[in-house]
Amino acid sequence: MVRWQPHASERLVVAALELFEERGYENTTVIEIAERAGLTKSTFFRHFPDKREVLFGGGTMTGLLVDGIDAAPAGASPLEAVAHALDVIGREAFTADRREFGARRSAVIAANPELREREALKGLGLTASMIDALKRRGVADLTSRVAAELGALAWKIAYERWSDTNNSDNFGELARRTLTEVQAASALC
């Protein structure tokens, strides 16, 4: 019988981040991550398909982003719909108590090529989900692709700004301001 483990996924993520910081991603095993979290290897694999995946939230972000775009007001422009989704992410995922974790996670990913590759692929997946969500709103194919790229860039810049611990603005506000800046810059290209 599988025993219910409260917050197992979060505990695994925190344990993994600590171990990657202490001894490096390459020198950490899934068993060690599970042990540090007080869980078993099989619990790890119920939450994540492999070690690389543990810092990438197993699809939560995609779900929030797509739901946010779907729920944007009917008359919203493509980038307003993206801004609405980034607001949702600010409220549900990138909350103030996660800011320091965000900065540590970014540093660990930057230090490891395998994690950078996984992050790059995740980025493409998020962009593809945004494109599909925008197309469901009736946005033309090419406009959806462009809006998703601009949205992904704004997300990335807003995340850089938000995970700077000297910054106290919330993610949704930062993302909205960054999207406006990105849109203005696109007119100068």
Considering only residues 85 through 144, tell me which ones interact with its own copies, judged by CB under 8 A.
Answer: 113, 116-118, 120-121, 123-124, 140, 142-143
Q: How far is CA 133 from the centre of its chain?
A: 17
Should residue 78 be labelled a site residue for its own copies when binding is judged by CB under 8 A?
yes
Query: What are the structure tokens assigned to 172, written together?
Result: 């949704």
Query: What are the structure tokens assigned to 75, written together?
Result: 């008359």
In 3-state terms the chain splits into helix, strand, coil percentages (rounded to 5) of 75, 0, 25
Should residue 145 be labelled a site residue for its own copies when binding is judged by CB under 8 A?
yes
Write down the least CB distance from residue 39 to its own copies, Å: 26
150, 46 Cβ separation under 8 angstroms? no
Should residue 157 be labelled a site residue for its own copies when binding is judged by CB under 8 A?
yes
Using CB under 8 A, pick the residue from 79, 83, 86, 88 that binds its own copies. 79
126, 61 Cβ separation under 8 angstroms? yes
Query: What are the structure tokens assigned to 131, written together?
Result: 């494109």
Using CB under 8 A, pick the residue from 150, 158, 174, 175 that binds its own copies. 150
How many of the other CB atoms lie within 10 Å of CB of 54? 25
Should residue 22 be labelled a site residue for its own copies when binding is judged by CB under 8 A?
no
- Give me the residues that bind its own copies (CB under 8 A), please: 77-79, 113, 116-118, 120-121, 123-124, 140, 142-143, 145-147, 149-150, 152-153, 157, 181-183, 185-189
